[in-house]
Amino acid sequence: MLRAALPTSYLRACLNPNRTFSKKYVIMSSARTITTVAVPELKDKTLFRDKAYVNGEWVTASSKDTFAVYDPATNKEIGQLPECTAEDTRQAIGHASEAFKTWKTTTGKQRHDLLKKWFDLVNQNTDDLATILTMENGKALAEAKGEVAYGNSFFEWFAEEAVRTYGTVIPSHIPNQRFVTVKQPVGVVGIITPWNFPIAMITRKVGAALAAGCTVVIKPGAETPYSALALCELAERAGIPKGVVNVVTTQKHVADVGKELCTNPTVKKISFTGSTGVGKLLMSQASGTMKKISMELGGNAPFIVFDDADLDAAVEGALACKFRGTGQTCVCANRIYVQKGVYAEFATRLAERVGQLRIGHGFDPNTTTGPLINERAVEKIKRHIDDAVSKGGELLIGGKSAGGNFFEPAVVTGMTREMAIATEETFGPIAALFEFNTEDEVLQLANDTEFGLASYFYSRDIGRIWRVAERLEAGMVGANSPILSSCYTPFGGIKESGMGIEGSLHGIDEYMNLKYINMGGI
């Protein structure tokens, strides 16, 4: 499945075959038979934390209320966590503000050293972190290990960037004046993350923020908060000072906590990954205090296969791009456009490969495709399948519920612009194939969306590669490459897919203010 993407460290880690198992669950396999699945015991049980983390302390909510977190593969409860409120968040912001007074004065080298310690501890605890991630998110354990490695790379990258926040000297046109610029941390940052990458969505924000000299208050996804808390445990061991990293957990008070982060004047920046609708709401709330914002929002990624493409590579690329994380990533291929001359062959070959995927519990070593996150996600997938079939689409394979939150990966042909998948982000394991005739036609179709996060295409014509890459309206383009993200490269969208950059040499600037100093009387 992932052969085409093996050059990336993330997907190489996904194929790690080493497993240690003990505890057991019973779940439904893709063949509708009951399979016994072994679940690893944590080597270090103290990484599984059941409290919020504020000012270096493990705390309950002021109300003492809690909410349950469930394993999406079994719908069994994993544990209970504090139902933090807006007031709890306000207190966390206060502690972060107090910590900022000293954290901002640390040197880049000091912050580098602490982030590298955190990086080393994450490396040492990869197996346990991956186990916690699979428990709450459901993705295959090998893929969870890949996420830990990928996510941790941002700690290493931004540790090294912490010592490179260079200013400038500007030649003066006035003899007795000198012009310089310096970069300074913005202050307290509110970070709101989703459930689909419980570790990586946090590390690529927090790594940049801490490297810049900021302190953070994190609200992780209610479905997957344990990974964030495990990272906090390791941050404490690494020596990150109290109040620099804080996590408030909530399910019922998500809107109130988000509003507090966005409207509290002490918070100087909001970094959010999630839906475009919620992003717009948070932007409007943050506008009252003119906060800096970074928004990584929804996508509707086109994946284009031209008739001169290497079909082997294109099929493998579509498989990796569409089905990793059970199709629950913001950069997954959502609309697959295939040129008429290769449409039938591509569809047949992709369906054959999809038929080799195996759905199951993430702790089953044979699983390639885990569950969807919850029942609402399953219902959306069903709606998209039913809509496509009712309007003339043909299911080549899959497309049925496999019990609970499991859904058979599907390939649908005969897709048209009138179908829901053409305009809505599916966020699930459906490969929807649209036919096209010409380059101009497919570019018009690909760009006919309010979203502009990621785009992909396959071609062996060097002229076409340049033309198409430049004309696709997206913040990121994969030409003959199905996996885009790394700590070294900029991640971000245009149009209604957001604003701002994560990762790369540009990522740290999102957490800094540029100050110009004019020195006269020289």
* CB within 8 Å of 111: residues ≥ 6 apart: 159, 162, 210, 211, 213
Tally the C-alpha atoms within 13 A of residue 516's C-alpha that lie toward its C-beta: 7
Contacts for 419-424: CB closer than 8 Å, 24+ residues apart: 419/384, 419/387, 419/388, 419/391, 419/393, 420/383, 420/384, 420/387, 420/388, 421/334, 421/335, 421/384, 421/387, 421/388, 422/335, 423/300, 423/449, 424/300, 424/384
CA distance 204 to 243: 19
Contact between 299 and 451 (Cβ < 8 Å): yes
**Phi, psi angles (nearest 5°) of residue 330:** -70, -15
**Residue 265: CA count within 13 A, CB half-sphere:** 2
Catalytic entry in 156, 296, 425, 496: 296
Q: Calculate the alpha carbon distances from 441 to 324, 336, 412, 457 in Å.
A: 29, 14, 21, 14
395 neighbors 350 (Cβ within 8 angstroms): no
Active site residue 496: no
One-letter amino acid at 88 equals: D
Q: How far apart are CA 141 and CA 132, in angstroms?
A: 10
CA distance 376 to 394: 24
Residue 134: which of 227, 237, 59, 207 has the closest Cα? 227
H or E element at residue 39: strand 34-39
- Separation of alpha carbons 313 and 449, rounded Å: 26
Helix 126-137 to helix 141-161 angle, to the nearest 10 degrees?
A: 120
Q: What burial class does residue 76 get, using C-beta atoms within 10 Å of its C-beta: 0-12 exposed, 13-18 middle, 19+ buried?
A: exposed
Paired residues of 122 in beta bridges: none
Question: How far is it, in rounded angstroms, from Cα 471 to Cα 446?
Answer: 10
Mind telling me the catalytic residues? 296
